[in-house]
Structure 1
Amino acid sequence: MVNHFTPNFLANMKAFTVKVRAPWKTYVRSLQSSCLLLATLSAASVVAQIPSVADVQAAKQADNSQAPLRGMVADASGARIGGASVRVLRTNGAALKTTFTKKDGEFSLALPEGDYQLVVSSPGFQIREVPLVVRDGRTTVSLSITLGLNPVNTTVQVHGREDDLGGIADSGTQGTVGAKEIENRPILRSGEVLESIPGVIITQHAGGGKANQYFLRGFNLDHGTDFAIFIDGMPLNLPSHAHGEGYSDMNTVIPELVQRVNYEKGPYYADVGNYGSAGSAHLEFFKTLPQNFAQVEGGMFGYGRFVFGASHKLGVGNLLYGGEAYHDNGPWTHPDNYYKFNGLLTYSQGSAESGFSMSARGYHGQWHSSDQIADNAVPLVGLFGTLNPTDGGHSQRYSLQSDWHRQSERSHTQITAYGFYYDLDLFSDFTYYLTDPNRGDQFEQNDRRWAAGLDAHHRIDGEWFGRKVENTFGLQVRNDWIHNGLFQSQGRVRVDKTDSGTGNTLPATTQADHFTDTQVGFYAENRIQWTDWFRSVVALRGDAQVFNVTSLITSANSGMTAKVLPSPKMSLIFSPGGKTELYAQAGFSFHSNDGRGTTLTIEPVSGDNPYPNTAATPIPALIPTKGGEFGLRTSALPHLKSTFSVWYLHSASELQQSGDTGGTTASQQPSERYGFEWANYYTPAEHVTVDLDLANSKALFTAPDTDDAAPGSPGGKRVPEAVGLVIASGVTLHDMHGLSSSLRLRLFGPRDLTSDGIYRSNYTAMLNGEVGYTFLRNWRASAEFLNVLDRRDHDIDYAYESRITPTATSAFTDVFHPVEPFQVRFWLRKSF
């Protein structure tokens, strides 16, 4: 592979990288002790925040030196609103104080000098944001704030899980995670930003540069099959991908530039089509930063990173730019040597109501890879070893997108357009010497594409027979021009191979195609506020998928396929009072299959099928899903926000095209999933938050599946690798005299690896911590402690047949990728 990095850059990266060599266990024990001590100190700091009587009196005296803030909240007619929430936010979005208006609509606060944002809200009214500057502690500031009526469910600025989404959300599993919450989470890899979504698990099974493995709601989602991800409205999922359908690479994301993550679960949302059955995540990036910053990081196992971001006025608009340079070897015997570079440039004008923006993004990464290994290979290569050190790959993605939006008194229009170029060259080896004992089983997957799309919607606000109504009409169009292929390789060189069972030749080119994948979706949604305590959302979505495939191997696999699928959706929201809402939902959705499989009539010659001219049956273009959910959201208890839901999801088939073999994978029969989710966010004190998210699910085929069973077994109904129990919990101390710290637990339970349940994984549990301190006003130092307990759990588990050496006997066994061991990373940030 060509080295694109200069010696100077490599030297600079090594300058701030901490390398640990044997005997590293001594360092581990020392660092673990330090971490536990820091966690104890953090807990002591939390206890110390419980105020004494003297503290309360001192605080009252201190308030006397702050600027008195008085205000009045009323509606458009002048009628005063009692019980309205008035939240004071710092410029970085962190909550400072909260109060409520009295019966006469008046409120009062005391604030020190500074810049703030007031967020004023009341059920049935639009949320109002008011900028506030306090400069003179002796002057009384008076405000008069008017709230407009909420038509039905107007989109508002929500900053994070601490916000009350009552009257806004359509379900108990819809929410928002803000930038401050993301910043306070220790993360190993950028994709773990999505673990801020309750119930989501992010893992990796082969090399840092490959897309993450996603788990949610009883799915092993592979790399994104039923989980839709959007970046400022641009879809991240890639249809008809060379490695796996819906492939979503979060390495393109710079976490520090993410303003919020909006999420929703289930097939109930009209604006989400393909891949949205289990859920969706919408990442919104900053248009202007609270503070410009530059940050340098270093850590164990060759880890180093530099990231920066800045924004400033440019003409009548704002310019934001940021970038990231990253390197990591990981704990592997053969280092990943993963390099990646990210860049973002955004120009924006206007406001959240009316304006436009343009963004350019670029990503480039290259890496070696220690793929998953069979359990019986550990004595041979070690826990962090590999059976093929030539695995790895490189990838890049460059995009340009624009957004235009306008809001009037009775309507709102938004149009997002995007285009991008993407390529991936990936070398993998999962069965080692099972097929060809001489040249091994490595294969190459190549994907190159251009893509362009449009997402437009128009909302009309009005009244029907005195009922407040919103009608929204949306159009989504996307086209991918794709060149991809599957090749036999040895040491990253394409070669013919010989099948050990039949003696047949496996050609170097297993599959190669040029094709287009076109998606068109249209939806109409109606929202009605029937009474003060009941509203409804009813929608109908229609999607069409068209594939036009040209096979470069055989014309028999060329052709065109088209499919149209309607998806009705409904949500009923009840507000009985007591800061509680109840939800009932039902809906249909789908995921698309690989376009190559829809025209496949001749099975590609591979290790799974070494026979030429074997007839194949085309797979369905779209796989429909349907589900229902009952949920609850409440903030009735002081400082506690909780949601609970029980859900069900039916998928018409688990059958899909396999990018690893060129054929199809089981199972043909339908599947059913059901479970519950319980999420809690507690703020017992100004600087302390506690969150606890619990989810559990079950995934079953409607009939026994023999293809995914252990050898000799008649099979069973369990869907292999489906996630069950998920627990995510953390305690965070933030912004207390410059000190912040967090301690987080992440656990997901045993998973069936075969349909009969004979092979099962163990629990995977990770405890991560972080301690940071702000000094000299604009400097911040932090340390992250990952896998504090140094557990030897597995990131991913499978069960299948493999052969670990040319002379070994093939074996059906557990195949896994271990979690990374205990490690420490440090970073230093300068804000300006």
Structure 2
Amino acid sequence: MHPSIPRLLRKTVLLALLAMPSAAWSADGKAGENRDEIVVYGRALEQVGVATSGSEGVVGYADFEKRPISRVGELAENVPGLIATQHSGSGKANQYFLRGFNLDHGTDLAGFVDGAPVNMRSHGHGQGYLDLNFLIPELVERIDYTKGPYHAADGDFASAGSLRFVTKNRLSQPFFEVTGGSFGYWRGVAAGSADTGQGTVLAAIDGTLSNGPWVLDEDLRKVNALVKYSTPDWSLGLAGYSSRWTSTDQVPERAIASGLIPRFGFIDPDLGGRSGRVALTFNGKAGNTTFTAYAIGSRLQLTSNFTYFLDDPVNGDQFRQIDRRGVFGGSVSHAFDAAGIAWRFGGDTRWDRIGQLGLYRTSAGTVTATVRQDQVDEYGGGLFGEARINATSRLRLVLGLRVDAIGYNVRSGLAVNSGKGSATIVSPKAALAWKAGDGVELYANYGQGYHSNDVRGATITVDPASGDPANRVPVFARSRGAELGLRVERGPLNVSLVGFWLDLASELVFVGDAGSTEPNDASRRFGTEFALFWRPLPGVTVDGTAAYTRARFRGVAPGQAFIPGATPFVLGGGISASMTPSLTATLRIRHFASAPLIEDNSQKSDATTLMNLGVYREAGRLRLGIDVLNLFNARDPDITYFYASRLRGEPAGGIDDRHIHPVEPRQVRVTARFLL
């Protein structure tokens, strides 16, 4: 046992008991009961007559409560067609893939938790950085998701889709849970709630230690905590997160093939990072008006080395990125009926106060030079309006309009890269829903949206690494898309089928690894998605999703149209069956196909297929679970890149090669949950 384990468990239990002294007792003094506990499968909720597109939906806690996952970011995979991978340690934001996008760490996927945005604008590592590691899975009540730029309430980063996580206000019973598993994995969770005054207090703490299967121990140390007070009309939550880890990044395949390193080996031993987040979130409602306010403190320190000795054959190419900021903002929405039309108006505002945004050269984990260091104020807001018109008893028309503006002030260590400015974008939306029969609805959608670019790219004049002149980029990259959809809800069967088209005016990005902009061309994506949720027998659920996308650059030279990392086919799903009232088994599959790695498609990644198994048994106040991750011990890549790198002793100029981060091998995790 790791020497830190007893300390972690003692702290977890102590903090849980201090935070929840009365959580095991209801107001009448009886032991905690399942008084509010209802098994709700979000995928089974009726969307016909409610949804405005065939691709939006809801996932409830019961959908993923008994579902084996290896990391928190995989909660996002509850959205049909979405894949979350990892290439640089468990404390870093996942890499996301959806609708033919390599979304990097969230550039076109918007994430929210209790109404507060998670994506980070003008981030030190990547635009739209979407780190979900602060979530405690057991406290997620539901996930509301949309896809495409058709929804007026969705603004920045939502071109491919959006995720809205809602945490619980109360638990039916307090619990303590401990998990032990392969490769030094330990996790302890304690949570509970208690009625007090006119509301409910919920508190939870979650601690994780892990070494992973890597030759170089990951040495992950992560702690999450949440305290939340809720009444029927408002809630106030305080969440904290801290993590540190050593990372084994992607490695060149030639190093494995030559025997220089094993499959789970490393090139640079001094990589890894530290991450932290503190968030205060307020949600309220008054009649038909809802509002959210938040204050978030966020920090990231990440040390990486992808090319080894390509640029600096003596000291190596190691570098460090730092992002430290405060994010402040809120949103409001009001709905009312007038002239037979359901109206909704709203707005949101946000200010990112970025105190340190830095890129540094390092050697053996020590800073040796500053490439660039900036301070940025980025502020913005959006207004939207939406009208829902019932043209007939079966036909609904939804018209929406959104206006967004961003202003910025970049104060760069290199004065010529400083500057101020602003930009505005208008995004119209439209949806048509026709109820063709009982439980059957057809949809047609059109919309425009956007993702913002790093505002340092809007003020840049000189490349800070090379000193060469640099081209500026616009603040907004517009998207435009359409979708046709079908939804069928018949008793225990829910099915949806959509076909979509999505254009992005430009995939210009600011590359945090280099501190400069990287031009990319306009793109177009066509695709189709199928999703199924079926309860064929009591206690048995089957869900599945399949998505195909054709993604290409537009207006480029012949043979150069493939978009690197754009996975064309995704398949996922599983079956969960209650063998007895107290015994449940779950089997799941996750597959994403080979993808182009460069524009001419001459280099491709290998496909990845994983299966996970979970078995869970209830025994009074005790629940035991066994998860087998990567059941068949697949040796596939979790993610693959193709670029030039140079190992010691290799010729100048480096060698073009595939670089992979392998999926973790088969591992077993055993969980015991105690209801208090």
TM-score in same-fold range (> 0.5): yes
Amino acid at match of 2:463: E
Paired with 1:602 and 1:716, the residues of 2 have a C-alpha distance of: 28
Match of 2:450 in 1: 590
Q: Is the 8 A contact 1:14 1:304 kept in 2?
A: no
Amino acid at match of 1:805: R
2:265 matches 1:380: no
Amino acid at match of 1:375: E
Amino acid at match of 2:543: D
2:621 matches 1:778: yes
2:236 matches 1:362: no
Alpha-carbon shift at residue 201 of structure 1 (Å): 0.2
Amino acid at match of 1:572: L
Q: 1:770 to 1:358 in 2, by over 3 A?
A: same
Match of 1:694 in 2: 546
Find the partner of 1:416 among 273, 281, 292: 292
Number of matched pairs: 649
Alignment of 1:543-558 (within 5 A): 543-552=404-413, 554-558=414-418
Paired with 1:370 and 1:527, the residues of 2 have a C-alpha distance of: 51
Alpha-carbon shift at residue 686 of structure 1 (Å): 1.1
Q: Is the 8 A contact 2:203 2:226 kept in 1?
A: yes
Alpha-carbon shift at residue 591 of structure 1 (Å): 0.3
Q: Is the 8 A contact 2:596 2:604 kept in 1?
A: yes
Paired with 1:645 and 1:318, the residues of 2 have a C-alpha distance of: 41
Match of 1:345 in 2: 227
Find the partner of 2:81 among 180, 194, 199: 199
Alignment of 1:221-260 (within 5 A): 221-260=103-142
Match of 1:176 in 2: 58
2:595 matches 1:751: yes
Match of 1:675 in 2: 527
Match of 2:311 in 1: 435
The secondary structure found in structure 2 opposite 1:747 is strand
Find the partner of 1:320 among 202, 227, 235: 202
2:483 matches 1:629: yes
Alignment RMSD = 1.6
Q: Is the 8 A contact 1:374 1:804 kept in 2?
A: no
Alpha-carbon shift at residue 429 of structure 1 (Å): 0.4
- Following superposition, which runs of at least 4 residues in structure 1 exceed 6 angstroms of deviation? none
Question: Over residues 769-824 of structure 1, what are the superposed CA-to-partner deviations in whole Å (9 max), with x where a residue is unaligned?
Answer: 1001000x211000000000101000101110001224456111111100000000
Paired with 1:734 and 1:292, the residues of 2 have a C-alpha distance of: 24
Alpha-carbon shift at residue 425 of structure 1 (Å): 0.7
2:146 matches 1:302: no
Alignment of 1:141-290 (within 5 A): 159-290=41-172
Paired with 2:283 and 2:9, the residues of 1 have a C-alpha distance of: 40
Amino acid at match of 1:390: D
With normalisation by structure 1, the TM-score equals: 0.77
Paired with 1:665 and 1:185, the residues of 2 have a C-alpha distance of: 39
Amino acid at match of 1:236: V
Paired with 1:13 and 1:417, the residues of 2 have a C-alpha distance of: 33
Amino acid at match of 2:249: D
Alignment of 1:470-549 (within 5 A): 470-482=342-354, 483-495=356-368, 508-549=369-410
Amino acid at match of 1:369: S
Q: Which has the larger displacement, 339-348 or 809-818? A: 809-818
Q: Is the 8 A contact 1:571 1:586 kept in 2?
A: yes
Amino acid at match of 1:630: L
2:634 matches 1:791: yes
The secondary structure found in structure 1 opposite 2:183 is coil
Match of 1:94 in 2: 39
Match of 1:371 in 2: 249
Q: 1:779 to 1:760 in 2, by over 3 A?
A: same
Q: Is the 8 A contact 2:66 2:616 kept in 1?
A: no
Alpha-carbon shift at residue 290 of structure 1 (Å): 2.5
Q: Is the 8 A contact 1:93 1:180 kept in 2?
A: no
Alpha-carbon shift at residue 8 of structure 1 (Å): 6.5
**Overall identity of the aligned pairs, in %:** 39
The secondary structure found in structure 2 opposite 1:548 is strand
The secondary structure found in structure 2 opposite 1:251 is coil
Amino acid at match of 1:326: T
Paired with 1:781 and 1:90, the residues of 2 have a C-alpha distance of: 23
Match of 1:84 in 2: none
Amino acid at match of 2:545: D
Paired with 1:260 and 1:244, the residues of 2 have a C-alpha distance of: 27
Q: Is the 8 A contact 2:8 2:207 kept in 1?
A: no
Alpha-carbon shift at residue 736 of structure 1 (Å): 3.2
Paired with 1:578 and 1:240, the residues of 2 have a C-alpha distance of: 47
Paired with 1:313 and 1:9, the residues of 2 have a C-alpha distance of: 34
Amino acid at match of 2:419: G
2:484 matches 1:641: no
Alpha-carbon shift at residue 292 of structure 1 (Å): 1.6
Alpha-carbon shift at residue 734 of structure 1 (Å): 3.6
Structure 1 unpaired stretches of 5+: 1-6, 16-88, 96-158, 496-507, 706-713
Alpha-carbon shift at residue 92 of structure 1 (Å): 2.8
Alpha-carbon shift at residue 393 of structure 1 (Å): 0.6
Question: Over residues 563-613 of structure 1, what are the superposed CA-to-partner deviations in whole Å (9 max), with x where a residue is unaligned?
Answer: 1000000110000113100000000000001111110011112xxx3xx3x
Q: 1:332 to 1:576 in 2, by over 3 A?
A: same
Match of 1:653 in 2: 506
Q: 1:286 to 1:749 in 2, by over 3 A?
A: same
Question: Over residues 147-199 of structure 1, what are the superposed CA-to-partner deviations in whole Å (9 max), with x where a residue is unaligned?
Answer: xxxxxxxxxxxx51022211111111111111111112100000101111100
The secondary structure found in structure 2 opposite 1:256 is helix
The secondary structure found in structure 2 opposite 1:185 is coil
Structure with bigger RCO (C-alpha 8 Å, 6+ apart): 2
Alpha-carbon shift at residue 616 of structure 1 (Å): 1.1
Flag the structure with larger Rg: 1
2:649 matches 1:829: no
Q: Is the 8 A contact 2:507 2:519 kept in 1?
A: yes
Question: Over residues 445-487 of structure 1, what are the superposed CA-to-partner deviations in whole Å (9 max), with x where a residue is unaligned?
Answer: 000001100111111123x2xx3x2111111000001121100
2:513 matches 1:664: no
Paired with 1:164 and 1:472, the residues of 2 have a C-alpha distance of: 22
The secondary structure found in structure 2 opposite 1:531 is coil
Paired with 1:92 and 1:727, the residues of 2 have a C-alpha distance of: 32
The secondary structure found in structure 1 opposite 2:555 is strand
Amino acid at match of 1:478: R
The secondary structure found in structure 2 opposite 1:250 is coil
Paired with 1:260 and 1:92, the residues of 2 have a C-alpha distance of: 14
Question: Over residues 60-87 of structure 1, what are the superposed CA-to-partner deviations in whole Å (9 max), with x where a residue is unaligned?
Answer: xxxxxxxxxxxxxxxxxxxxxxxxxxxx
Question: Over residues 243-285 of structure 1, what are the superposed CA-to-partner deviations in whole Å (9 max), with x where a residue is unaligned?
Answer: 0000011111000000001111000111110000000000000
Paired with 1:231 and 1:304, the residues of 2 have a C-alpha distance of: 26
The secondary structure found in structure 1 opposite 2:43 is coil
Alpha-carbon shift at residue 291 of structure 1 (Å): 2.4
Amino acid at match of 1:816: I
Amino acid at match of 1:532: S
Question: Over residues 609-640 of structure 1, what are the superposed CA-to-partner deviations in whole Å (9 max), with x where a residue is unaligned?
Answer: 3xx3x21111111100000000000024x421
Alpha-carbon shift at residue 666 of structure 1 (Å): 3.2
Q: Is the 8 A contact 1:433 1:806 kept in 2?
A: no
Paired with 2:255 and 2:9, the residues of 1 have a C-alpha distance of: 32
Match of 1:452 in 2: 328
The secondary structure found in structure 2 opposite 1:380 is coil
Match of 1:561 in 2: 421
Structure 2 unpaired stretches of 5+: 11-33
Q: Is the 8 A contact 2:471 2:517 kept in 1?
A: no
Alpha-carbon shift at residue 831 of structure 1 (Å): 1.6
Question: Over residues 522-572 of structure 1, what are the superposed CA-to-partner deviations in whole Å (9 max), with x where a residue is unaligned?
Answer: 0011111121100111110000011110111x2111111211000000110
